[in-house]
Amino acid sequence: MADGGDEPEEAELGEKQKKEIAMWFLANAPAGEIQYVAKDIKSLLGDDGVYETAASEAFPVYNKTHLVSLEMPDRSGNVIITRFGEIDESNYLDPRTAQVATVDHIKQVCSNLRPATDEELPSFYIEGFRSALDAELCKYVDETYPKGTCAVYCTKGKDVEGPGSGFEFTVVISAARHSPQNFCNGSWRSIWKVEFKDDLQVVELNGSLQVGAHYFEEGNVQLDSKNECNDSTIFQSPEDNAISVMNMIRHHEMEYMSSLEASYLNLPDTTFKDLRRKLPVTRTLFPWHNTLQFSLTRDISKELGIGK
């Protein structure tokens, strides 16, 4: 037969292409696996300069996409790496503790902490709504996600001083489980945009939920699921708002979880069956011992009773 694909491209890859390949692998690493991918790709490249350029570009993107959460050095909690709290590429706001954390994207650690300045924080009026929602969110996340971290960011109108203008929060929930010794990793990410529309006196909710799981003991199987949902409620006091917004989030996330369960339950009898049945349509194993006869008589449909 054809003797392999031994026609190596003569031209060696340029540094730019190598960097792009490295970045592609890093950016597409499953949840919790970028360090392993980095180790592999570094050794395959055999060029630390190219690797470092690729890593310095790819890690920040990955950390933000995966909502990586890092413990803050004073142990006051975790800071989530997300564009919603991004001050600059290595500094991220933790709205709950009003601190700014400096992160090392490649090591995925938080190296320094400073109090946030007044300009980085929302007004007193906005903070009232934000902290009320954050308190409800923490309760929910604590009881729902064993390894969950969460935050509420003011993403629009943080300087609004009182009624009359709208503003927007972004609620982020990130839960990850890494179990490399069991060849299993996974993550749950929710991002909820909460728009407070002052003129219409409504609060609009837009959520995007994403769940991934990877099992790779002697194989490679991945779950990738996404959903979008929206809802709305009336504009109320900070405390009442917090409760109704959290009720909607709880409701939608619960529904999404049930739909995931339903998809798994449907798998064996419907979805998977469309690819390959467990048993042939005849419900007996294939009669391999009779095949000679089949091919001699060419009367296969009659023999198998599947009448074509």
CA distance 41 to 195: 42
For residue 68, the minimal CB distance to other proteins (Å) is: 15
Among 124, 146, 163, 199, interactor with other proteins by CB under 8 A = 146
* By the rule CB under 8 A, 15 interacts with other proteins: no
| Helix, strand or coil, per DSSP, at residue 131 | helix
User: Judged by CB, which is closer to other proteins: 88, or 295?
Assistant: 295
Nearby residues of 269 by Cβ (< 8 Å), 6 or more positions away: none
Among 111, 222, 230, 237, interactor with other proteins by CB under 8 A = 222
* By the rule CB under 8 A, 228 interacts with other proteins: yes
* By the rule CB under 8 A, 292 interacts with other proteins: yes
For residue 82, the minimal CB distance to other proteins (Å) is: 18
* By the rule CB under 8 A, 119 interacts with other proteins: no
CA distance 211 to 225: 5
The three-point CA angle 173-99-60 to 5° equals 60
Residues 49-108 that bind other proteins (CB under 8 A): none
CA distance 255 to 274: 26
* By the rule CB under 8 A, 293 interacts with other proteins: no
User: Judged by CB, which is closer to other proteins: 22, or 72?
Assistant: 22
Beta bridge partners of 191: 172, 208
Angstrom distances, CA of residue 30 to CA of 215, 251, 262: 10, 28, 24
- The single-letter code of the amino acid at 268 is P
- Residue span binding other proteins (CB under 8 A) among the ranges 66-74, 87-95, 113-121, 144-152: 144-152
* By the rule CB under 8 A, 181 interacts with other proteins: no
* By the rule CB under 8 A, 175 interacts with other proteins: yes
Nearby residues of 132 by Cβ (< 8 Å), 6 or more positions away: 238, 239, 241, 242
- Residue span binding other proteins (CB under 8 A) among the ranges 71-79, 90-98, 153-161, 171-179: 171-179
* By the rule CB under 8 A, 191 interacts with other proteins: no
User: Judged by CB, which is closer to other proteins: 224, or 240?
Assistant: 224
Residues 22-51 that bind other proteins (CB under 8 A): 24-25, 28-30, 33, 36-37, 39-41, 43-45
CA distance 159 to 161: 6
Among 75, 118, 285, 307, interactor with other proteins by CB under 8 A = 285
On the CB side of 255, CA atoms within 13 Å amount to 12
For residue 15, the minimal CB distance to other proteins (Å) is: 12
Task: Indicate the angle between helix axes 48-65 and 15-27, nearest 10 degrees.
Answer: 30
